Amino acid sequence: MTRTLQAQSGASVYDRLELLLPLVSKPIQYVGGELNATLKEWESTAVRWAIMYPDAYEVGAPNQGVQILYEVLNEREDVLAERTYSVWPDLEALMREHSVPQFTVDGHRAVGDFDVFGLSFSTELGYTNMLTAIDLAGLPLLAVDRDETHPIIVAGGHAAFNPEPIADIIDAAVLGDGEEAVLLITDIVRAWKQGGRPGGREGLLLELARTGVIYVPQFYDVTYLDDGRIQRVAPNRPDVPWRVRKHTLMDLDAWPYPKAPLVPLAETVHERMSVEIFRGCTRGCRFCQAGMITRPVRERSITGIAAMVEAGLQKTGYEEVGLLSLSSADHSEIADIARNLADRYEDTQTSLSLPSTRVDAFNVDLANELSRNGRRSGLTFAPEGGSERMRRVINKMVNEEDLIRTVTTAYAAGWRSVKLYFMCGLPTETDEDILQIATLAREVIKAGRSATGRNDIRCTVSIGGFVPKPHTPFQWAAQLDHESTDARLFKLRDAIRADRQYGKAIGLRYHDGKPGIVEGLLSRGDRRVGRVILQAWRDGARFDGWSEHFSYERWMLAASKAFEGESVDVDWFTIRERERAEVLPWDHLDSGLDAEWLWEDWQASLDEVAVEDCRWTPCFDCGVCDQMETEIQVGPTGITNLPMPAMPARPPVLA
Amino acid sequence: MAYSAGFSPHPKISYANSAPTGVASEAEYVEIGVTVECDPDRMRTALDDALPPGLDVVEVVQARTPDFVQRLEASSWQFEVPGVSIDALARCVEALLAAEAVEVERLTKSGLRRFDARVAVVTMNAVGAHVAPLTSVAADCAILTAVVRHVTPSVRPDDVLAALRRVADLVPPVPPRVTRLAQGPLNPVTATVGDPFAPDRSA
Task: Tell me the pTM.
Answer: 0.93
State how beta strands B186-187 and B192-193 pair: antiparallel
**Residue B192 maps to a domain:** no
Torsion of CA A360, A364, A370, A373, to 10 degrees: 180
Which residue of chain A is at minimal alpha-carbon distance from B44? Answer: A653
Phi, psi of B102 (to 5 degrees): -130, 110
Confidence of residue A647 (pLDDT cuts 50, 70, 90): low
Claim to verify: residue B92 and residue B49 sit in the same structural domain: no
Parallel, antiparallel or unpaired: strands A378-384 and A351-353: unpaired
pLDDT tens across A387-436, in order?
A: 999 999 999 988 899 999 999 999 999 898 999 999 999 999 999 999 99
The 10s digit of each residue's pLDDT in B67-117 is 899 999 999 999 998 888 889 999 999 999 999 999 999 888 888 999 999
**Alpha-carbon gap, residue A601 to A19, rounded angstroms:** 57
B93 and B181 share one domain: yes
The answer to whether B50 contacts A32, with C-beta atoms less than 8 Å apart, is no
Q: Do B174 and A655 touch (CB under 8 A)?
A: no
Test B21 with A27 for CB contact under 8 angstroms. yes
Candidates A20, A36, A373, A653, partner chain B, best to mutate (most B CBs within 10 A): A653
Q: Are A503 and A541 in contact (CB under 8 A)?
A: no
Nearest to A54 by CA among A188, A150, A169, A189: A169
- Contact (Cβ atoms closer than 8 angstroms) between residue A91 and residue A123: no
Check whether residue B93 and residue B25 sit in a common domain.
Answer: no
Domain co-membership, B86 together with B180 = yes
Long-range CB contacts (< 8 A, 24+ apart) of A339-345? A339/A369, A340/A302, A340/A306, A340/A641, A340/A642, A341/A306, A341/A309, A341/A370, A342/A369, A342/A370, A342/A372, A343/A644, A344/A306, A344/A310, A344/A642, A344/A644, A344/A645
Domain at A2-245: CATH code: 3.40.50.280
Distance CA A596, CA A591 (A): 13
Could you say which of B8, B9, B175 has the minimum Cβ distance to residue A22?
B175
B179 and B116 in one domain? yes
Q: Residue A528 region, left (φ>0) first, then alpha (ψ -120 to 50), else beta?
A: alpha
Report the CATH number at residue B155.
Answer: 3.30.70
Residues B41 and B138 in one domain: no
Judge if the upstream peptide bond of residue B153 is cis by omega within 30 degrees of 0.
Answer: yes
Whether B203 is covered by a domain: the verdict is: no
For B41, which residue in chain A has the nearest alpha carbon? A653
Angle among Cα B35, B41, B47 to the nearest 5 degrees reads 70
pLDDT at A489: 97
Please indicate, yes or no, whether residues B41 and B92 belong to a single structural domain of this protein.
no
Q: Is residue A84 within 8 Å of A133, Cβ to Cβ?
A: yes
Q: What is the pLDDT of residues A446-480, one digit of tens each?
A: 999 999 999 999 999 999 999 999 999 999 999 99
Domain range for B42 is 13-69
Within 8 A of B21 by CB-CB distance, chain A residues are 22, 27-28
Give the DSSP letter of residue A405. H
Give span(s): CATH 3.80.30.20, chain A. Answer: 272-510+579-628
Fold of A272-510+579-628: pyruvate-formate lyase- activating enzyme (3.80.30)
- Count structural domains, chain B: 2
Locate the chain A residue with the closest alpha carbon to B3.
A349
Numbered ranges of CATH 3.40.50.280 in chain A: 2-245
pLDDT of residue A655: 65
Q: Tell me the residue type at A544.
A: D
Nearest beta carbon to residue B43 from set A19, A21, A653: A653
Q: Residue B34 domain-assigned?
A: yes
For residues B97 and B180, state if they share a domain.
yes
* Amino acid found at B92: C
pLDDT digits (tens, 9 = 90+) for A354-388: 876 678 878 888 888 888 867 777 888 999 999 99
Q: DSSP letter string over A293-344?
A: HT-S-EEPPHHHHHHHHHHHHHHH--SEEEEESSSGGGSTTHHHHHHHHHHH
pLDDT at residue number B146:
97
Contact A238, A245 (CB under 8 A): no
Radius of gyration of chain B (CA): 19
Do B55 and A33 lie within an 8 Å CB cutoff? Answer: yes
Q: Is the ipTM of this complex over 0.90?
A: no
Q: pLDDT digits over B9-64, tens only?
A: 788 999 988 999 889 999 999 999 999 999 999 999 999 988 888 899 999 999 99
